Amino acid sequence: MKQVDGEKLLASLGEGVKELRGRISTDAPMDRATWFQAGGMAELLFHPHDEDDLIAFLKVLPEEVPLTVIGLGSNLLVRDGGINGAVVRLSAKGFGQAEFIGDNRIRAGAICPDKTISAVAMDNALGGFHFYYGIPGSIGGALTMNAGANGGETSERVVEIHAVDRKGNRHVLKNADMAYSYRHSHPPEGLIFTHAVFEGFPEDKAKIRADMDAVRHHRETVQPIREKTGGSTFKNPEGHSAWELIDEAGCRGMMIGGAQMSSLHCNFMINTGHASAYDLEYLGESVRQRVFEHSGVKLEWEIKRIGKFIPGREIKPFLGTVTD
């Protein structure tokens, strides 16, 4: 049975939609938009052409319609019942570029891949960005998740963030407005990041290249980077590493349906072929339960789970709390 009705939503938006320049689609399969390649449909998916087009869309979209923003989908699990309302995914054309702007700074659009920032930084002998080389997300996702690795994280490099709110008003934020914590930020509610300015420091190109190569080599050795995955499933709890707790609880390689905790890196959950979002989330909650029983530690999800369950296939969090 169809879980969403995009045509009805689109029709309700009225004539203003005709002025939009970006691509709009209804009942859009979200398995194509996420690394897990699982999950249901978005009622409406809009790829704004540029910032003005995004603002025009927000003005056409009634306030009561739920709005979800996605980046490159490398940290997202969309539930099988799909997403009610509109999903915005910035277009690469309007939001995908990164450029060196002088004074040790780079300006990047919010759908620009993290890897591109590393490359632009290296070309301009700017240090401090090698860690982005191994993170497969976008700048918008990095700002939301305070993405980091190999000793660096987003909060250390950002200077200024540009965003648009739900009503289509533009905002400029300072880094301090983002209230970062470990793999999390807490900016004012409901903002869509459009671009950001980053600052590094002068560094020798050969050193930067060597650091980037080390990042790549490390990833290829210890992470299942060619699988359908969402990266680390759970955050590292204070004083512990999530993978060790998972391993000690006997969950390495554990499977439910087509979902598996990777044997190579047991904090990475993978879709081995045709896993449903239900399989993946049920596996994650089962791991949380086993780890709690074994060590008393409550793991918190790092992967964002969004959308709705198929009726009758709801998953109750085993530990009574849902964490994002």
Ligand X SMILES: Cc1cc2nc3c(=O)[nH]c(=O)nc-3n(C[C@H](O)[C@H](O)[C@H](O)COP(=O)(O)OP(=O)(O)OC[C@H]3O[C@@H](n4cnc5c(N)ncnc54)[C@H](O)[C@@H]3O)c2cc1C
Residues that bind ligand X (CB under 6 A): 35, 69-76, 90, 110, 134-138, 140-142, 144-145, 147-149, 183, 192-193, 223, 225, 229-231, 304
Min. distance of Cβ 79 from ligand X in angstroms?
14
Residue 183 designated active-site: yes
70: nearest Cα among 45, 98, 37, 43: 45
Nearer to ligand X, 124 or 144 (CB): 144
What DSSP string describes 100-127?
Answer: EEETTEEEEETTSBHHHHHHHHHHTTEE
Nearer to ligand X, 4 or 117 (CB): 117
The active-site residue out of 79, 89, 183, 290 is 183
Residue 189 designated active-site: no
Q: Which residue is nearest to ligand X (CB)?
A: 141
Nearer to ligand X, 55 or 147 (CB): 147
Q: What angle do CA 100, 141, 68 make, to 5 degrees?
A: 130
Residue 232 designated active-site: yes
Nearer to ligand X, 236 or 276 (CB): 236
From start to end of 120-165, where are the E strands?
A: 126-127, 148-149, 152-153, 158-164
- The span from the CA of 311 to the CA of 80, in Å, is 10
The active-site residue out of 185, 232, 262, 276 is 232
- Using left for φ > 0, alpha for ψ between -120 and 50, and beta otherwise, residue 73 falls in left
Min. distance of Cβ 242 from ligand X in angstroms?
13
Residue numbers annotated as active site: 183, 232, 302
